[in-house]
């Protein structure tokens, strides 16, 4: 790829941010000039988040501190509107399996209807992270499983404290 021009948005609930998310963000930052990680304030597909939007933002900022072209912002509006506000030319998401593709295909079509000038770009998960989901990590941690190799250390520590209090 000859050019790294432009801004892209990597959206998600990131509850919690996993090493798989960070792999996608890192790889995306090597391709595009600026990556805005968009943390969904109130995810529609989830009833309640484990961490507040501000906590999730702080975890990602800490984990991506060495990536100079990554910025982390919270958003509460339509993804396409958020992407427009950031002057993004694309929305970048990771894909793990066929089930991800089916959902993301539908979302890409809806986003394209809202704004055909914003592309949807997909990064295939690294094999090491192809099984990893925030939901799975939360379930493991809820029942005392060790998630320290699946999420950044500050996230694992916060999860143990938060879930231990339940």
What is the pLDDT, as a whole number, of residue 1?
45
Query: What is the pTM (predicted TM-score) of this model?
Result: 0.92
Alpha-carbon span 165 to 76, nearest angstrom: 28
Tally of CA atoms within 13 A in the half-sphere of 48 that contains its CB: 1
Where do the domains of the chain lie?
A: 7-164
pLDDT tens figures, 11-68: 999 999 999 999 999 999 999 999 999 999 976 766 789 999 999 999 999 999 999 9
- Cα–Cα distances in angstroms (integers) from residue 95 to residues 58, 61, 72, 133, in the given order: 24, 22, 20, 11
Q: Mean of the pLDDT values across residues 132-154?
A: 94
What is the chain's mean pLDDT, rounded?
92
Q: At 141, is the pLDDT very low, low, confident or very high (cuts 50, 70, 90)?
A: very high
- The angle formed by the CA atoms of residues 57, 58 and 62, to the nearest 5 degrees, is 120
The architecture (CATH level 2) of 7-164 comes to 3-Layer(aba) Sandwich (3.40)
Residue found by looking up tokens 């990556």 in the block: 35
Reported confidence tier of residue 161, pLDDT bands at 50, 70, 90: very high
| pLDDT higher than threshold 70 for residue 165 | no
Cα maximum dimension of the chain: 51
pLDDT for 59 equals 98
pLDDT at residue 92 in the model:
97
Residues 6+ positions from 46 with CB-CB distance below 8 Å: 13, 15
Provide mean pLDDT across the span 88-113: 92
* Neighbour tally for 137: CB within 10 Å: 24
Map residue 130 onto helix, strand or coil: coil
Bridge partners (DSSP) listed for residue 119: 90
User: Is the separation of the CB atoms in 123 and 31 below 8 Å?
Assistant: no
- In this predicted structure, the answer to whether residue 5 has a pLDDT above a threshold of 90 is no
Sign, Cα dihedral of 20, 22, 33, 44: positive
Using a 10 angstrom Cβ sphere, with 0-12 exposed, 13-18 middle and 19 or more buried, the burial of residue 54 is: exposed
Is the pLDDT at 99 greater than 80, yes or no?
no
């Amino acid at each position: 790829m000859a050019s790294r021009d432009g801004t892209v948005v990597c959206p998600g609930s990131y509850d919690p941010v996993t090493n798989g998310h960070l792999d996608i963000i890192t790889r995306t930052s090597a391709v595009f000039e600026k990556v805005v990680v968009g943390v969904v304030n109130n995810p529609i597909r989830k009833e309640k988040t484990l961490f507040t939007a501000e906590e999730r933002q702080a975890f990602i900022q800490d984990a991506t501190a060495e990536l100079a072209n990554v910025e982390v912002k919270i958003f509460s509006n339509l993804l396409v509107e958020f992407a427009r506000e950031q002057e993004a030319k694309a929305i970048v998401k990771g894909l793990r399996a066929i089930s991800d593709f089916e959902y993301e295909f539908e979302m890409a079509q809806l986003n394209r209807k809202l704004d055909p000038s914003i592309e949807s770009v997909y990064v295939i998960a690294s094999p090491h992270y192809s099984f990893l989901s925030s939901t799975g990590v939360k379930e493991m941690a809820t029942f005392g499983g060790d998630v320290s190799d699946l999420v950044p250390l500050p996230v694992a520590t916060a999860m143990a404290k938060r879930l231990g209090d339940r």
